[in-house]
Chain A
């Protein structure tokens, strides 16, 4: 088997003196959807941010497509082909949807901008209707669509999604997850997904990791983990 697209090897991240990741190993192969689940404060978003270079890992290595990106600046990591839809969406509230998408194309500028714009408008037709509107006036679901669309504008080879279901209605969550699956199936987009919504995430994912207190405690295919009693007990009981 060829080397994974992204591999995280023994990464430790600190906030000051407080350790957040205690040696995490993760691999994402090209064309896969990999999800990372875990409780609040487990370090999921920290791992996401560490992959993106802010904060930087204090030890360990992050290899993307054969390149060591551990010490690279975030904007260089973006240029290397990783895009991120950050936690809490973080769209530019006062700028129009169109301008938000333009910011997403920052790294390749005007080159194939119109083409990419058409593409994301096909994926999220709702955004086309709202193109002139200010980002802050969109609904939560639309904002999430915009955050994903904005990340797609840079033509990434790996898409990092941090809690896309945060604060959204179940129907919208389903729509978002269907879109992710669709992107993966149709375009072969590699997705690394961080989620609290373990049930949906595990159903969607090819493979999954469970993060507890800054350590990966379990890994396997989505289906396997869905069936494990300890996963059910910790993340899935009482609902769905």
Chain B
């Protein structure tokens, strides 16, 4: 047993030595190939061009990759961490050569994948081989990493601000931080419906729209503040969740998917055509911006900056939005985790497994389904109202089917029902899209006219196909039971058949 433990839990020193050796070998190889290059100059003479940064990048990249391979015992965690590290190294290289503003976000993106990989590894390590033996350290390790991850998320905007200043950090906090967190939250919300209750919902964006328009209309018409509108938006979205839930109570699988798809479209089409209510295609603009609990983020004397004694910059609002969505997302996560341990959460999972069995055990399937729809919708509504306050403009175009598809893809790629998996999938999918805008080196390969962002959908399609072949049940397919006799143990995903819920 002890030997097996050793084998399972890689130690730091060995991994470091191993990585150092690999880095040395890389240096040996890269020094003649990458660092020194002969070129012909104007007079047709051979001159040696020195490219030490190339060699250093290669050495650092190999060192990181090798170190991670040594530290992470599961190949799936490695598959997340190593690209993360390589992206991080690439970003650092950009930051050092071109300018910090160009690379910082890429570094952060890489780090996010890297940090996520450790709890992932801890989760996976507990699973297949460890089924027969109690694992005392595993969950603690995983909890520690989760706390570290949350702390990292909380300090992220300040680090960016200190590093890049208000101008440079805006893009990274907004385009990466806030954008990714919105989708993490939407993914977690949809996860309740799809991942836990097993009800395939293709129209989730409808609740996002309901939340966004709730805030937009309530604030512009009645002048209600964001903090009053937020719960109202949640309630209204939950109400629409129940409205959708009733007609689809008897449907499952493909039929359910079609009806929910239609529902999503109906909401959007109504918003387009009912101009008196929603102002149609033009949407609703000049929605009040978020305030710091009543204190506006303006340069005025009663503004946030003046009150705090800071110099005014628009980044304060962005950072506040970042924390707002971070807290909303963490709330979603906390509620979901809590509910999973309660009878209602167990009933959702049982419903996903077998509806007839549920009914024969006295589970009220109607209520169970409706609560799943309502709760999922409520979190969608929260996210929607956040979306409206962030954009201060909403129009039906933001709520097309592709949004539903993206959110569903995040849930499916993440491994249905897994919280950390969904978060990682959101980072990869949404952050990945943003990263595509930064890959300037591809222009050197494919020519100046090449814009990697144009190939976004193609790359997603490919990634989906590869994922479905390589890991058909998503990034994390194992499932930790919500209740234990003695010790906590996950149920390995590898043992779960396709189509078995």
A residues sitting closer than 8 Å to B (CB atoms) are 52, 54, 73-75, 77-79, 83-86, 90-96, 98-99, 102-104, 106-107, 109, 131-132, 134, 136-137, 150-151, 154
Contacts and interface: CB of A to CB of B under 8 A. Distances in A.
Contacts, number: 105
Interface stretch (B92-100, B237-245, B331-339, B350-358): B350-358
B14 to A, nearest CB: 32
B353 A95 contact: yes
B391 to A, nearest CB: 39
Given A94-B491, A106-B343, A99 B482 contact: yes
Contact of A103 (B356, B358, B500): B358
Contacts of A137: 495
Interface in B316-368: 343, 346-347, 349-350, 352-354, 356-365
B496 interface: yes
A77 B346 CA distance: 21
Interface of B: 343, 346-347, 349-350, 352-354, 356-365, 479, 481-485, 489, 491, 495-497, 500-501
Contact of B353 (A75, A83, A92): A92
Nearest to A150: B361
A3 B405 CA distance: 58
Given A75-B364, A94-B500, A107-B362, A132 B485 contact: yes
Given A74-B359, A78-B360, A98 B481 contact: yes
A78 B496 contact: no
Contacts of A107: 361-362
Given A73-B364, A95-B346, 15 more contacts: A54-B356, A92-B350, A92-B501, A93-B500, A94-B353, A95-B481, A98-B484, A103-B361, A106-B362, A131-B485, A132-B481, A132-B489, A136-B495, A136-B497, A151-B360
Nearest to B363: A106
Most A Cβ at <10 Å: residue of B349, B485, B491, B497:
B491
A109 B357 CA distance: 17
A109 B350 contact: no
A89 to B, nearest CB: 8
Nearest to B501: A94
A188 to B, nearest CB: 22
A96 B360 contact: no
A103 B495 contact: no
A79 B362 contact: yes
Contacts of A85: 360
